[in-house]
Amino acid sequence: MNEIELKKIKQKALEDKIPIIMDDTLEVIDKLLEEKEPSKILEIGTAVGYSAICFSKYLTNGGRIDTIEREEDRVLQARDNIKRAEVEDKINIFYGDAVEILPTLNEQYDVVFIDAAKGKYPFFLKEALRMLKSDGMIIADNVLYKGYVMSDYNKHKQRTAVRNLREFLQELQNNPELEVEILEVGDGLAIARKK
């Protein structure tokens, strides 16, 4: 992987106000992936490919990341970025809505990273669980959504997203097969491991 290109990709994404993964969140995920040594990762929400490129260095030999993005211009930028970072043999982008694409996938993943439309997290969880290996791990970003999820203030316009994030966290925590941690890094990070 080309680290200089990675820095440029990050810089441009920040300039363009693309909501890429935050540094402190990435630090946590780096450690998890280093320990896990995944061969297959599923990412929901590619944006311009920054997180996928970062994760790709933890893949075992021949490993692969499948990542889904619904905005065409982001898919095009992501393809370009992935080439510049020299990891195009490790990352496969699906262009389309994850709500439509996920049900067509039938692979087994070591890690599923959820980082897309907050209102769809309960659906993403269901699909992630269906494709998670028996020792797999689900990581979800933005689960505390600027603190809205844990506050009782309920009048903001993001109400549907908040309701669905709460439902997502409930389902994670009520699932007897999962061991769950919710961290206050970045915008809130949920880590769920199969027991």
Residue numbers of the site for ligand SAH (CB under 6 A)? 19-21, 45, 47, 50-51, 68-71, 74, 97-99, 115-117, 120
Which sign does the torsion angle of CA 144, 150, 156, 159 carry? Answer: positive
Give the span between the Cα atoms of 107 and 104, in whole angstroms.
10
* 110 touches Mg ion (CB under 5 A): no
* 67 touches Mg ion (CB under 5 A): no
Beta-sheet strands, E only, within 24-125: 40-44, 64-69, 91-95, 109-114
Binding positions for Mg ion, 125-144, rule CB under 5 A: 141-142
Judged by beta carbon, residue 91 or residue 178, the one nearer ligand SAH is: 91
Q: How far is the CB of 14 from ligand SAH (least distance, A)?
A: 11
**Contact call for residues 90 and 65 (beta carbons, < 8 A):** yes
Give the span between the Cα atoms of 170 and 164, in whole angstroms.
10
Judged by beta carbon, residue 19 or residue 147, the one nearer ligand SAH is: 19
Judged by beta carbon, residue 123 or residue 133, the one nearer Mg ion is: 123
